[in-house]
Amino acid sequence: MPLRLLTVISAAMSLLGCGGYASTSEAFRVSLNGGRPQQALASVNEALGVDTPAQRPSEIEEDTPLLLLERATILQALGEYELSKRDFQAADAKLDVLDLVNDTAGNISKYLFSDDATLYKSPPHEKLLLNTLNLINYLVTGDLSGAKVEARRFTINRKFLDDVEGGQGMLTLGSYLAGFAFEMSGAPKEAMLHYAEAHEAGGVFSLAEAAQRLSTRTGITDKRLAEVLSGAPPLPEDDARRGEVLIIVQAGMAPYLVPERMPVGAAVIATSDTRHHHARLSPAQQQRSQRIAAKGLVKWISYPLLRRASPPPAAAQISLNGVALPSGVGLDIEDKVIAQYESVKGALIASALVRMIARAVAGEISQAAAKSSRKDNGVALLVGLLVEGAMVAADTPDTRGWVTLPARVILARARLPEGRHRVEILYRGRRRSQEINLKAGGWAVVNFSNER
């Protein structure tokens, strides 16, 4: 039995990286945050084991789907929308498959060592944001057919995650963009449905005006928007000859996970809260943790701590043809990620304590095995400590998460006469602009996602 256990331990340790995902992602996270997206792209390509963004990884490893998400976001910031679409689609497919994988070796190493030894599974908010950001790719490139397909993927994921804690707060922007896609494609009923879902989930900037115009123009309504639609103003006489422009600014960087240590005693207290059943240890586990701490051999546990990015997101000023354009928050990703993390923090600490108990048991078994083989007590104790110490060193908390996400998505929307127009944004002292050419009854989506 001891030899078999040591064999499992050795095999599981070979699956673990040296510094976890926080170490892997630091290079491209820091580069993107510092306004160096090309350098960020080179770093994520290196992590994927490829030379160019056009290449796909030849093997699917534990972190491959997550790295594809990171690369898709960086490519979007660089304006490489077609490549970004491809990576988002590939990541989405891999994440769906991972939920069905029976990862036996990963489960063993997760129990004994670290949560990040298993294949990556996307939390609810990342699944919804994947479809949301890919919707932006399709809209910017004028591909309404692809946008509607992505909107339907978003709807399927939304329905699947309806009862999952942590996903609901991410519905607003995806639903709003889905509504925009259907409205611009001449499907007002479907558009109003998505606008109503966005409103029901909390609403976004410019949603009320968009729903009012749509209702006044087509007569389509939704009872969830009754209060909003009741104050709809009349349309201007030349409305049919105007075009629609939607401006999107992705600002700042979302919080990210880092490894953190906590005293065992404090961790036991944190997992004793009877209000959170998923974060509680059993009484036996609590007693075992306290005994281990009392021995003084293991004083700390390691768990993933959420850290805000620096600097925090700044305000973006948007102007159209030199005139300031009202704008507002489409989605506060930072706020939603923090709320989701706080809801599972206790469970993460409990998981770290369970791993500590497993390490201690392995050390005790190894020590007992050494004693039974007639080694002196000093050697037996050393064997036990070596096994436990090696497992402590190998315990890298799961710091995986989509680190290149923006902290905030800002929206502005306007109806304009046909012709050429200049969109300009000012963010952290840097000015960027883009010219659009609107046709009568046409539309355009402008995205600025390099504002980190």
Q: What is the pLDDT of residues 316-339, one digit of tens each?
A: 999 999 999 999 999 999 999 998
Q: Mean pLDDT of all residues in the chain?
A: 84
The pLDDT of residue 450 is 87
Query: Whole-angstrom Cα distance, residue 324 to residue 42?
Result: 36
Residues, the chain = 452
pLDDT at 358 over 90: no
Query: Whole-angstrom Cα distance, residue 329 to residue 308?
Result: 19
Nearest to residue 404, comparing CAs of 53, 63, 76? 76
DSSP string, 264-322: HHHHHHHT--TT-GGGPPPHHHHHHHHHHHHHTS--EEEEEEEE--SSPPPP-EEEETT
User: Max Cα separation, the chain?
Assistant: 97
Q: What is the pLDDT of residues 424-435, one digit of tens each?
A: 999 999 999 999
The pLDDT of residue 337 is 92
Query: Whole-angstrom Cα distance, residue 355 to residue 398?
Result: 12
pTM: 0.85
Q: What is the pLDDT of residues 270-279, one digit of tens each?
A: 877 655 555 5
Q: Within 10 A of 316 (CB to CB), how many other CB atoms are there?
A: 20
Percent of the chain predicted with pLDDT > 90: 57
Q: What is the pLDDT of residues 3-60, one digit of tens each?
A: 554 454 454 444 444 568 999 999 999 999 999 999 999 999 999 999 999 999 988 8
